[in-house]
């Protein structure tokens, strides 16, 4: 298959949102229907392939390169492993915490894979990318035009939506020069109020779609404990079917958009509208209530103190119930 026919996609999202879990389950479902997949993990945690390979963490390109002395000394079959349904897996890796740029590992890994023919005989190349910060290295799949379709994993939580908007801003920056497009938002549900409606509204504001709402189900965690995708662990479950629906939507997605990221004020207004954030008026009311309660408590405390002082000075006689009789 020629490179022109390969669809290069990327999953971005805030750390902890379930991006790697969602991407691996979706890609496993795509492989079930015959799609040939290569996963390139671009997260320093190196957890982008563990459910496919049934392992803790795949040895990364940077780690192996450090052992050998240079990335040029590596062989392709040392860094590309096959897992569930023949999915090919690579982890780019990163340096020790606090030393160097983790994004550089992505650049090094992708260049090595391209030069050594890793992209041959695949239908989809999928980049799993940390999305809290879209810095130069982490933006590499977008900036260099490697990934043409971006899927943002988010939820109805404030910081997940904030990250999604920031990622959309990064996509917009390179949309005209690199041709990258936003394929949609994937809502990985956290069961917040009106979550489906909220993410649909956010998607509309960003000029994209909520491509799928993935319901929350503990079976995902049960599968993860066994280092498996839901599709492999419980293929007949409702959750496995949700990932199959999402996979089909990705395969057939024609809705590629240049995003229109919104300003922080508009995002906050949206969060207020859906009850995620409190408005200034509500905050003032709460502050007013809390001040009134504080003043009442202070008055009561002062009154109790004055009464106790009066007793100590003998100005008040304490009468027991027996004396009353």
Q: Is 249 a catalytic residue?
A: no
Percent of the chain as helix, strand, coil, to the nearest 5: 50, 15, 35
State the virtual CA torsion across 146, 173, 46, 122 in degrees, nearest 10. -20
CATH 3.40.50.620 fits 3-273, yes or no: no
Cα–Cα distance measured from residue 206 to residue 247, given in angstroms and rounded to the nearest whole number: 22
Q: Residues comprising the binding site?
A: 13-20, 101, 135
Q: What is the pLDDT of residue 75?
A: 94
Residues 64, 72 contacting (CB under 8 angstroms): no
Q: Which two tokens stand for residue 203?
A: 């998607």
Residue that the structure tokens 């009311």 belong to: 285
Q: Answer yes or no: 19 catalytic.
A: yes
Give the SS3 label for residue 106.
helix
The β-bridge relationship of strands 149-154 and 181-188 is parallel
Checking if the pLDDT of 223 tops 50, the result is yes
Q: Is the dihedral of CA 68, 70, 71, 72 positive or negative?
A: negative
Mean pLDDT across 288-297: 67
Six-digit token string for 110:
């992708």
Q: Which of 51-60, 81-90, 104-113 is predicted with the least confidence, judged by mean pLDDT?
A: 104-113
First-last CA distance in the chain: 104
Q: What span, in angstroms and rounded, lies between the C-alpha atoms of 33 and 37? A: 11
> Distances in Å between the alpha carbon of 66 and those of 41, 58, 93, 242?
18, 15, 11, 40
Q: Assess whether 132 carries a catalytic annotation.
A: yes
CB 128 within 8 A of CB 38: no
Active-site position among 14, 88, 146, 249: 14
Q: Is 265 a catalytic residue?
A: no
Q: Which of 123, 132, 196, 248 is catalytic?
A: 132
pLDDT at 311: 62
Give me the catalytic one of 5, 43, 45, 73.
45
Q: Which residue has the higher pLDDT, 224 or 306?
A: 224
Model confidence, pTM: 0.83
pLDDT greater than 60 at residue 58:
yes
Per domain, the residue ranges of the chain are 3-273, 280-324
Local structure of 15: helix, strand or coil: coil
Asked if 169 and 38 touch (Cβ cutoff 8 Å), the reply is no
State residue 286's pLDDT score.
Answer: 53
CA dist 166 → 159, 162, 270, 322 (Å): 10, 6, 16, 74
Instruction: For residue 296, give both structure tokens.
Output: 């009442």
Catalytic residue among 19, 88, 146, 249: 19
Name residue, tokens 């190349």. Answer: 125
**What mean pLDDT is predicted for residues 169-176?**
91
**Given a cut of 50, is residue 234 above it in pLDDT?**
yes
Which residues define the annotated binding site for [4Fe-4S] cluster?
101, 135
Kindly give the residue spans of alpha helices, DSSP state H, lying in 226-324. 230-233, 238-251, 264-273, 280-313, 321-324
Average pLDDT on 145-173 reads 94
Compute CA distances 274 → 26, 123, 190, 298, whole Å: 29, 40, 15, 36
- Does position 2 have pLDDT exceeding 50, yes or no? no
The secondary structure element, H or E, covering residue 29 is helix 19-32
φ, ψ of residue 319 to 5 degrees: the values are -105, 125
Per-residue confidence band for 1, with pLDDT thresholds at 50, 70 and 90: very low
Binding residues for ATP: 13-20
């Amino acid at each position: 298959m020629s490179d022109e026919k390969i669809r290069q996609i990327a999953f971005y999202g805030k750390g902890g949102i379930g991006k790697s879990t969602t991407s691996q389950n979706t890609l496993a479902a795509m492989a079930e229907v015959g799609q040939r997949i290569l996963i390139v993990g671009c997260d320093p945690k190196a957890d982008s392939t563990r459910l496919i390979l049934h392992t803790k963490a795949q040895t990364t390109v940077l780690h192996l390169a450090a052992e050998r002395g240079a990335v040029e000394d590596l062989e392709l079959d040392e860094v590309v492993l096959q897992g569930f349904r023949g999915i090919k897996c690579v982890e780019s890796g990163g340096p020790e915490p606090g030393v160097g740029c983790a994004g550089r590992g992505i650049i090094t890994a992708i260049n090595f894979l391209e030069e050594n023919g890793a992209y041959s005989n695949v239908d989809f190349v999928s980049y799993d990318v940390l999305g809290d910060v879209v810095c130069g290295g982490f933006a590499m799949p977008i900036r260099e035009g490697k990934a043409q379709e971006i899927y943002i994993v988010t939820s109805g939580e404030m910081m997940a939506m904030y990250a999604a908007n920031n990622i959309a801003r990064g996509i917009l920056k390179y949309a005209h020069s690199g041709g990258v497009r936003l394929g949609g938002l994937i809502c990985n549900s956290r069961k917040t109020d009106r979550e489906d409606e909220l993410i649909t509204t956010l998607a509309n504001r960003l000029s994209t779609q909520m491509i799928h709402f993935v319901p929350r189900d503990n079976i995902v965690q049960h599968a993860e404990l066994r280092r498996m995708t839901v599709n492999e662990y419980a293929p007949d479950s409702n959750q496995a079917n949700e990932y199959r629906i999402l996979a089909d939507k990705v395969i057939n997605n024609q809705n590629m958009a240049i995003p229109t990221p919104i300003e922080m004020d508009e995002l906050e207004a949206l969060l207020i509208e859906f009850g995620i954030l409190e408005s200034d008026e509500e905050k003032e009311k709460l502050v007013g209530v809390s001040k009134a309660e504080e003043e009442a408590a202070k008055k009561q405390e002062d009154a109790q103190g004055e009464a106790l002082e009066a007793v100590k000075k003998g100005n008040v006689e304490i009468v027991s119930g027996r004396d009353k009789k």
